[in-house]
Structure 1
Amino acid sequence: MKTKLILLSLLCLSQTILLAQKKVAIDTKTSLLKWTGHAEIGTYAPSGTLNLWEGVVYLKGDEITAALLTVDMKSMKQENSDLVNHLKSEDFFDVEKYSVSTIKINSIRNGKAYGQITMKNKTQAFECPIAITKTGGELSVTGKAIIDRTKYGIIYNSGSFFSGLGDHAIKNTFDVAFNIVVNL
């Protein structure tokens, strides 16, 4: 009986905590995702943008406790259309089959976001440093995530999987700098 009472109390407490949080949509028009890939040799580092399809943050007061973002992989842009077409192909992100990726932030502690990224139906844990600023009625979350593409099955020209690539080798990691905007 005592165990049941404790479990019931914990359930009520967790529901109270969830109810105390407010769900707010991310401003997908002003939020920005900028990706950068890197050659393994030399300084070649093309960059471009991606759009958010949708996203929400969970707030307790003005503090973000969690978030869920959906990235529109078909929105990938870069000045070199041949590069974009290759990145959208099966060699890389296969956007016809996997048109969205998701970023789930489970917690934010000590200036870091912790969660999972799902890309090409593969989910991997991540953590990255972030900064949260409040200006007027707007929250802005900025940072840069470093993502290992090989963990999502993207191995094209990876020196970890192929030899003799020379200056055609591509680093396993790419960066995504972000500025996520929430209007309060």
Structure 2
Amino acid sequence: MRIKILSIAFAALIVAAAFTFIRKEVKVDVKSSQIAWVGEKVTGQHNGTVNIKSGALDVENGTIKGGEFTIDMTSIDVLDLEGDSKGKLMGHLKSDDFFSVEKYPTALFKINSVSESKQADATHFISGELTIKGITNKITFPATVTVNGDKVNAKATFALDRTKWNVRYGSGSFFDGLGDKMIYDDFKLSVNLSSL
């Protein structure tokens, strides 16, 4: 009888192990990961980068279940200009006209859910909360995600309406008579994440 009970208990343990979900935190490699941005205006556009300060993904059985990233807003860089022009634009982007970097040195993105995508150019939809200048908005965007053991790669390109985070400088939605000085509300982000 004792052997039978032990056998049943052992079988139950094997079944439980088969259905156990393995969840782990995967750190983001901030040196190889990057966020590129493009901002457009009537007369042209500018582009640059901003660095990820820290980040981690929650991975369960080869699937991303969540994650959180801190973006270093003090690292905003402009790539299409040089010299004084570059310095002037970088200073303006960091000022209260745009991202108020002195008051809000970091932005935060928290992943709430990840679902599979049937789009040809994306494997998943990522939904979460993006906090910029202390203002939080929900966003969802398509991404191409690959998980291979502890290695995770994710790429995404999407547009955001900056005015939702009270970045209204030069916006035709809030100011009249801007003419060719108008800056479009949407700005494009291209995110490339790699894990350690």
TM-score w.r.t. length of structure 2? 0.79
Q: Deviations over 1:56-109 (max 9, x none)?
A: 100002221111000000001114221111000010001000000001111111
| Separation in 1, partners of 2:37, 2:127 | 19
Q: 1:152 to 1:113 in 2, by over 3 A?
A: same
How far 1:20 moved relative to its partner? Answer: 4.0
Single out whichever of 142-151 and 162-171 deviates more from structure 2: 142-151
Aligned residue number for residue 8 of structure 1 = none
How far 1:133 moved relative to its partner? Answer: 2.4
2:167 counterpart SS class: coil
> How many percent of aligned residue pairs carry the same amino acid?
34
State yes or no: 1:144 paired with 2:157: yes
- What amino acid sits opposite 1:21 in the alignment? R
Question: Equivalent of 2:90, from 77, 84, 105?
Answer: 84
Aligned residue number for residue 23 of structure 1 = 25
**Count of matched residue positions in the alignment of Structure 1 and Structure 2:** 165
Question: Equivalent of 1:104, from 107, 110, 135?
Answer: 110
How far 1:135 moved relative to its partner? Answer: 6.2
Name stretches of at least 5 consecutive residues in structure 1 with no aligned partner.
1-16
| Separation in 1, partners of 2:193, 2:168 | 29
- What amino acid sits opposite 2:23 in the alignment? Q
State yes or no: 1:161 paired with 2:167: no
Q: Deviations over 1:109-144 (max 9, x none)?
A: 122100110000000000000001246863210001
Cα RMSD between the aligned structures? 1.9
Aligned residue number for residue 72 of structure 2 = 72
2:88 counterpart SS class: helix
| Separation in 2, partners of 1:87, 1:20 | 43
State yes or no: 1:95 paired with 2:101: yes
- What amino acid sits opposite 1:30 in the alignment? S
User: Equivalences for 1:46-57 in 2 at 5 Å?
Assistant: 46-57=46-57
- 8 Å Cα contact 2:113/2:127 also seen in 1: yes
- 8 Å Cα contact 2:63/2:147 also seen in 1: no
Greater than 6 Å deviation, 4+ residue runs: none
Q: 1:109 to 1:116 in 2, by over 3 A?
A: same
| Separation in 1, partners of 2:138, 2:48 | 24
- What amino acid sits opposite 1:124 in the alignment? N
- What amino acid sits opposite 1:92 in the alignment? F
TM-score w.r.t. length of structure 1? 0.84
